[in-house]
Amino acid sequence: MKTSTRTAIVTGGASGIGKAIVARLARDGIAVAVADKDEKQAAEVASNIQNGSQIMSVGVDVSDRTSVENMIELSHERLGSLDILICNAGIMDRAPFMEMEENFWDNVLNTNLGGVFRCSQVAARYMIAGSRGGRIVNVASNSGIFGGRGRAAYGASKAGIINLTQTMAIELAEHNILVNAVAPGPTKTRADQPDAPWPSVAMRMPLNRYGRPEEIAEVAAFLASPACSFTTGHVVSADGGFTIAGIMEG
């Protein structure tokens, strides 16, 4: 087993984009805790990555404070330090605004935005105590940058993550903890998704295709790396140009 010099926790690491981030960080020799509500799948991801890095799995519900505290304590104890936190766990539930119920709103906000708040706050305490700085990378979404049908709660949670990223960057800078976000566009994470995004989306994407989880992971890995040393509080879109597209023809 390689001796890892850096350590990371990836929430929602059991599938999709999170799983790709786990694999990407492991490729850099980083010891990783795969933290997910789906403990069985998290354990499977951890055991399938066999490149010599230390990979562990741990169950967590990011909407619950005690669960988050336990997850970070256990990961820190087993990895020996905490340098990187990737806040990726999230739910993409949608509902029309006029039909959205209180508990739906609460659940999406508490999981997506609340999850980033509590995971980051608890992790930052360990990073500060470790006195070697750190990196926090939050997974936002282009739905946090512009409006989208059915996404009142989801979009608000992701817009909140972008603003929280900026404030954490300001307040944690004195501890050399850099906080950034990656905002994916439509990304193909499931086999049952169509090969191409639906036309109303694709026509606004200069690259005109789904992103791959590995492409989002590359951006997250850079933001988590020592090479990212003077960038904090920013959101990097990985979305095939979706958020910058204006006039596409003519």
Ligand X SMILES: NC(=O)c1ccc[n+]([C@@H]2O[C@H](COP(=O)([O-])OP(=O)(O)OC[C@H]3O[C@@H](n4cnc5c(N)ncnc54)[C@H](O)[C@@H]3O)[C@@H](O)[C@H]2O)c1
Residue ranges binding ligand X (CB under 6 A): 11-12, 14-18, 36-38, 60-63, 88-92, 111, 139, 141, 184, 186-187, 189
- Both structure tokens of 3: 């001796």
Q: Which residue number, 139 or 172, has a Cβ lying nearer to ligand X?
A: 139
Q: Which residue number, 29 or 64, has a Cβ lying nearer to ligand X?
A: 64
> Nearest approach, Cβ of 150 to ligand X (angstroms)?
14
> Nearest approach, Cβ of 1 to ligand X (angstroms)?
26
Total number of residues shown for the chain = 250
- Both structure tokens of 169: 């960057």
> Nearest approach, Cβ of 76 to ligand X (angstroms)?
18
Helix (H/G/I), strand (E/B), else coil: 56 = strand
CB-based burial label for 40 (10 Å; 0-12, 13-18, 19+): exposed
> Nearest approach, Cβ of 71 to ligand X (angstroms)?
9
> Nearest approach, Cβ of 158 to ligand X (angstroms)?
7
- Both structure tokens of 246: 């204006």
Asked if residue 82 lies in contact with residue 4, where contact means CB atoms within 8 angstroms, the answer is no
Nearest-CB residue for ligand X: 16
Q: Which residue number, 14 or 85, has a Cβ lying nearer to ligand X?
A: 14
C-alpha 221/C-alpha 227 separation (Å) is 10
Q: Which residue number, 12 or 160, has a Cβ lying nearer to ligand X?
A: 12
Q: Which long-range contacts (CB under 8 A, 24 or more apart) does 197-203 make?
A: 201/242, 203/248
Catalytic residue among 117, 126, 154, 242: 154
C-alpha dist (Å) from residue 109 to 56, 117, 130, 177, 244: 28, 11, 30, 25, 26
210 counts as catalytic: no
Q: Which residue number, 198 or 230, has a Cβ lying nearer to ligand X?
A: 198
User: Which residue numbers are catalytic?
Assistant: 154
